[in-house]
Structure 1
């Protein structure tokens, strides 16, 4: 289990996590929140802007992945149909393909714990090395992911596509 100096129990957070998310992070080896997570998850969950600078391995990715999942879940529960066609709930912009892929892997590992009886939450990785923006758009329209994770160039190409608005 990962435990950083000054880490805090998930139960001690002022923000209550969805039970499946708490199970996912604990099962992934994170028995406690890191200081970065303890200070940012409640703020992000309250729609506050947060800027974090911390060393590799400090828990930054989980610090934003958890609130993103919580917000997407909220929309899915509030809307009978979920997101409208062509809509999504979050965009995560990554400076490199490798980091985008790592972020996507974190989402996927947590989503393995998502109850199968609920409306499915999907991510889509949008990076230059994985086919064309046209293929990305067809995948988006077919799979209807709520969370997009990508690099600036590919996200710009994807969102600027005439197919997206046509």
Structure 2
């Protein structure tokens, strides 16, 4: 497995691409001749959420993976997870990160909880889901509807995930 070395906020790439956030990730990997080399890749997150502590940013590249980053106020980047981020929702003082993948018969989904303690992110798994949500609908400040291929669930920040019948 490749070792991640450093992630940097890349302001010039963000400006050039006309986006708010661009991140350069450098790691020890392999070049085209399979030699060990320093490799760079650029990530332009599809989702971001500005928080008091900085920015939570996530990407979903399907079968090619995804990332969840935290960028502090000094633009220092911390990679929190290798996950396909489908969306980020605020519930009270917590953030729920929905991740999942549905590709070639392989399907999974997860709800993660992100909190902050003394300005530092605490990221943890909250629920394993029956699959990858096809649609996410914010119901109110406390609830989120997750629609799957064959069923739906209602999640609330109290930690309750209930199956519901809906069209």
Q: TM-score, normalised by structure 2?
A: 0.29
- Largest Rg, 1 or 2: 2
Structure 1 or 2: larger helix share?
Answer: 1
Q: TM-score, normalised by structure 1?
A: 0.29
